């Protein structure tokens, strides 16, 4: 459970300029952290010691994070190729590939005192000695048995897989001629004041049973996302992963954009086109663990189990069956921080959603651990201080390199100061995901009848976030769409999804309830839940089926590894009502900016009536969750006097509702205190309906 600081508003701030420079500045925001000053100082000191070491030995974080200019393959101006690889345990190394007929002995590399192997291949007639897109590997002689083993270069930027031959990836020397390299045309859009995030997976972005491509996403999805009103795209499963069904979470080549969807330049075109539409693009980055593949991953790369990872049991995630990085290693820090920098510099990504942050923060990786919200759980021996410090360094580097960058943490624990800057002792993220919110909705839909929904608990869960730390709220993400789980629309309408979503069929009580609650849940999450909003692709229109990638258990079927946009485009089907409502929310947020406005003031949580009323961004939000009761002349408090009009009505016929509320109604305030507000007005609020009102002069 995520915790909030109940006394945040009563904090006694020190005089300006008196923020301590020892990592305990966060205590001024949250005095409850006072007993943990030693732990805060320790992580802060460790981060600054790393910064000093990197400044002294590497020329600073900026240069350190451009490790790809030194490691991997770099082509010099004269056509020479310089290849470097860190592999301290390997005894000898040779470069092999198509270019030398896979001769294992002709191109031996030199090893320095730091365990870095290096070779220079002189240009041939001014051209690189290795042909563009030809296959290459590094061949090691490893300790123990002095055996030879071939590996994919760790910094390789393109790998391909021919499943008809072998599931093992091939490394490619990607070096297109200058006149064929993609040139970005559009500048990055400015950082959005409100982040409205569309979480997407390129491969599933087609109604057809296949792996969709970067080009298809650019042509078909970008206009759809733009028209819906989202301004941020979070792309999943881009870093190359060995197993498609892992949803991109078993990375084997960290610098390679997945070749399943096309060529590197086609991903660049996707991002560039999004920028031209004013859309920010984030990469779902996985630095929490790595594929345990040996033949085409980092595991046992130099013959040891402890090069990039912790050795032994500590280096294995027992639930994910994957390897765990050693964040206390100088070269691992170089590799991971350069990986982040590479995606920004090479592909023009605008930021990252860090996956599995809870696993990085704690020695127990969140396994078998329920977080009660007690502050002692966030400090002490259970914390992986090296993991915390890596995230501090990564965020510090990223925000220095790209001030408008967005970083989002997927942390279920509620770690304090996760979204505060390093200068205050924070870890430096811009946003955290409100993971407790979708959990509440699913739990209620599974376990409670509608009349048992608790308005106080709903409001608490949506507003329970740390003072001064920004949150991205969501009703459901990809997690709820995966097979084994169920989306909100499935929980609501499962029995009749395939029979009653046509307007030519009867609007049954099941479908009516489902569509009403689908809209209300999204709207209250959008308005009350955070400083950003996220939706997983397809859920905006109530996608009728779960997500299941081709695997042995389903006969390698693509039937559920797709998004059926053909359904929302059919005017006879009710899906377009949900889609149109979602678009309305995004465009109204763009106009009124509630996500970047101060947190809402909740004036009413009425358990008997199942009514919630709050104000945010000058708007009046009214929700009636009662399963059967409608209310006439319902009195709601509002601070600002004036004439109000409806800007969002979940019951509008345009969104598949009943049209019970007159859209052009004017609501006049009465100067009489009500629910701690200076004025009140009266509304008709039908059962399972939400209204958002705005002052007439703002329309």
Check if the beta carbon of residue 528 is closer than 8 Å to that of residue 463: yes
Is 286 inside a domain boundary? yes
d(CA 500, CA 573): 9
User: Do 406 and 542 have their domain in common?
Assistant: yes
464 Cβ partners below 8 Å, 6+ apart?
2, 3, 4, 436
User: Do 590 and 605 have their domain in common?
Assistant: no
User: In CATH, what number is assigned to the domain containing residue 130?
Assistant: 2.60.40.10
Is 23 inside a domain boundary? no
pLDDT, tens digit (0-9, with 9 covering 90-100), for 408-441: 999 999 999 999 999 999 999 999 999 999 999 9
pLDDT, tens digit (0-9, with 9 covering 90-100), for 438-483: 999 999 999 999 999 999 999 999 999 998 999 999 999 998 888 7
CB-CB neighbours of 384 under 10 Å = 19
Q: Quick one: which of 560, 583, 579, 582 has its CA closest to 569?
A: 579
pLDDT tier at 1 (50, 70, 90 boundaries)? very low
pLDDT tier at 174 (50, 70, 90 boundaries)? very high
Active site residue 386: no
Q: What is the DSSP letter of 349?
A: -
pLDDT value of residue 2? 41
Residue 123 has pLDDT above 70, yes or no: yes
Is 24 inside a domain boundary? no
d(CA 568, CA 580): 10
Is 25 inside a domain boundary? no
User: Do 125 and 241 have their domain in common?
Assistant: no
Is 10 inside a domain boundary? no
Domain endpoint, select from 135, 154, 180: 180
pLDDT value of residue 495? 82
Domain endpoint, select from 549, 573, 595: 595
The tokens describing 557, both together, are 């079927």
Q: Count up the domains in the chain and report the number.
A: 3
Is 74 inside a domain boundary? yes
Half-sphere exposure of 320 (CA within 13 A, CB side): 26
User: Do 172 and 234 have their domain in common?
Assistant: no
Distances (CA, A) of 79 to 76, 82, 84, 127, 175: 5, 10, 16, 5, 11
Of all residues in the chain, the percent with pLDDT exceeding 70 is 98
Is 27 inside a domain boundary? no
pLDDT, tens digit (0-9, with 9 covering 90-100), for 230-281: 999 999 999 999 889 888 999 999 999 999 999 999 999 999 999 999 999 9
Residue 25 has pLDDT above 70, yes or no: yes
The active-site residue out of 58, 216, 410, 469 is 410
Residue 340 has pLDDT above 60, yes or no: yes
User: In CATH, what number is assigned to the domain containing residue 633?
Assistant: 2.60.40.1180
User: Do 578 and 645 have their domain in common?
Assistant: no
User: Do 648 and 576 have their domain in common?
Assistant: no
User: Do 238 and 97 have their domain in common?
Assistant: no
Can you tell me the mean pLDDT for 29-37? 95
- The DSSP bridge pattern shows strands 470-473 and 431-433 to be parallel
The active-site residue out of 58, 266, 355, 384 is 355
Of 138-147, 214-223, 627-636, the range with the lowest mean pLDDT is 138-147
Check if the beta carbon of residue 480 is closer than 8 Å to that of residue 433: no
Does the model's pTM come out above 0.85?
A: yes
pLDDT, tens digit (0-9, with 9 covering 90-100), for 177-215: 999 999 999 999 999 999 999 999 999 999 999 999 999
User: Do 345 and 472 have their domain in common?
Assistant: yes
User: Do 128 and 214 have their domain in common?
Assistant: no
User: Do 591 and 640 have their domain in common?
Assistant: no
pLDDT value of residue 689? 98
Mean pLDDT over the full length of the chain: 95
User: Do 606 and 572 have their domain in common?
Assistant: no
User: Do 585 and 630 have their domain in common?
Assistant: no
Strand ranges (DSSP E) for 384-443? 406-409, 431-433
Domain endpoint, select from 157, 180, 203: 180
pLDDT, tens digit (0-9, with 9 covering 90-100), for 549-569: 999 889 999 999 999 999 999
User: In CATH, what number is assigned to the domain containing residue 322?
Assistant: 3.20.20.80
Active site residue 410: yes
pLDDT value of residue 494? 87
Is 19 inside a domain boundary? no
Can you tell me the mean pLDDT for 572-597? 98
Residue written as tokens 């990197």? 54
pLDDT value of residue 17? 56
Check if the beta carbon of residue 85 is closer than 8 Å to that of residue 153: yes
Residue 8 has pLDDT above 80, yes or no: no
Q: Which structural domain, as residue segments, surrounds residue 136?
A: 67-180
């Amino acid at each position: 459970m995520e915790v909030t600081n109940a006394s945040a508003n009563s904090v006694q701030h020190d005089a300006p300029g008196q923020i301590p420079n020892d990592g305990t500045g966060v205590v001024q925001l949250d005095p409850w952290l006072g007993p943990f000053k030693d732990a805060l100082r320790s992580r802060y000191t460790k981060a600054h010691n790393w910064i000093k070491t990197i400044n002294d030995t590497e020329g600073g974080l900026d240069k350190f994070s451009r490790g790809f200019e030194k490691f991997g393959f770099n082509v010099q101006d004269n056509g020479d190729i310089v290849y470097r690889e860190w592999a301290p345990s390997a005894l000898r190394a040779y470069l092999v590939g198509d270019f030398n007929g896979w001769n294992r002995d002709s191109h031996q590399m030199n090893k320095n005192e730091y365990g870095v192997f290096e070779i220079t291949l002189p240009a041939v007639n001014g051209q690189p000695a290795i042909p563009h897109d030809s296959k290459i590997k590094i061949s090691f002689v490893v300790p123990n048995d002095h055996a030879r083993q071939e590996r994919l270069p760790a910094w390789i930027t393109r790998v391909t897989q021919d499943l008809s031959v072998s599931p093992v990836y091939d490394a490619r020397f990607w070096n297109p001629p200058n006149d064929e390299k993609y040139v970005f045309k559009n500048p990055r859009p400015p950082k959005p004041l409100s982040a409205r995030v569309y979480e997407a997976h390129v491969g599933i972005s087609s109604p057809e049973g296949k792996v969709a491509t970067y080009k298809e996403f650019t042509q078909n999805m970008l206009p759809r996302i733009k028209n819906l009103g989202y301004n941020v795209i979070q792309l999943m499963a881009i870093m190359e992963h060995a197993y498609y069904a892992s949803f991109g979470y078993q990375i084997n080549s960290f610098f390679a954009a997945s070749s399943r969807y096309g060529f590197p330049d086609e991903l660049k075109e996707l991002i560039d086109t999004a920028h031209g539409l004013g859309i920010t693009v984030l990469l779902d980055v996985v630095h929490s663990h790595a594929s345990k593949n040996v033949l085409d991953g980092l595991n046992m790369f130099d013959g040891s189990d402890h090069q990039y990872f912790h050795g032994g049991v500590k280096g294995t995630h027992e639930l994910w069956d994957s390897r765990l990085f050693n964040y206390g290693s100088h070269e691992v820090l170089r590799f991971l921080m350069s990986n982040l920098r590479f995606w920004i510099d090479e592909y023009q990504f605008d930021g990252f959603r860090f996956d599995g942050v809870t696993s990085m923060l704690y020695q127990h990786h969140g396994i078998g651990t329920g977080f009660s919200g007690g502050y002692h759980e966030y400090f002490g021996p259970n914390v992986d201080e090296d993991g915390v410090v890596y995230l501090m360094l990564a965020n510090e580097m990223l925000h220095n390199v790209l001030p408008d960058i967005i970083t989002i943490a997927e942390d279920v624990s509620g770690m304090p100061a996760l979204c505060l800057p390093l200068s205050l002792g924070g870890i430096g993220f811009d946003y955290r995901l409100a993971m407790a919110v979708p959990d509440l909705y699913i739990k209620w839909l599974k376990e409670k009848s509608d009349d048992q929904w608790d308005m106080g608990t709903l409001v608490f869960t949506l507003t329970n976030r740390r003072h001064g730390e920004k949150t991205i709220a969501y009703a459901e993400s990809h997690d709820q769409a995966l097979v084994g789980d169920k989306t909100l629309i499935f929980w609501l309408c499962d029995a009749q999804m395939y029979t009653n979503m046509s307007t030519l069929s009867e609007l049954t009580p099941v479908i009516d309830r489902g569509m009403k609650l689908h809209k209300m849940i999204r709207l209250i999450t959008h308005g009350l839940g955070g400083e950003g909003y996220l939706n997983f692709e397809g859920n905006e229109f109530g996608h009728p089926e779960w997500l299941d990638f081709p695997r042995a258990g389903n006969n390698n079927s693509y039937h559920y590894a797709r998004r059926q946009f053909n359904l929302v485009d059919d005017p006879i089907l009710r899906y377009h009502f949900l889609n149109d409502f979602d678009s309305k929310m995004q465009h109204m947020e763009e106009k009124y900016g509630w996500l970047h406005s101060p947190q809402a003031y909740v004036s009413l949580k009425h358990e008997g009536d199942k009514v919630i009323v709050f104000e945010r961004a000058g708007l009046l939000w009214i929700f009636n969750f009662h399963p059967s009761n409608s209310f006439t002349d319902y009195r709601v408090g509002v601070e600002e006097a004036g004439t109000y009009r409806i800007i969002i009505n979940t019951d509008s016929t345009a969104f598949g509702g009943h049209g019970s509320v007159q859209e052009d109604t004017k609501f006049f305030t009465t100067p009489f205190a009500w629910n701690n507000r200076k004025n009140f007005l009266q509304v008709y609020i039908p059962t399972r309906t939400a209204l958002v009102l705005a002052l007439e002069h703002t329309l």
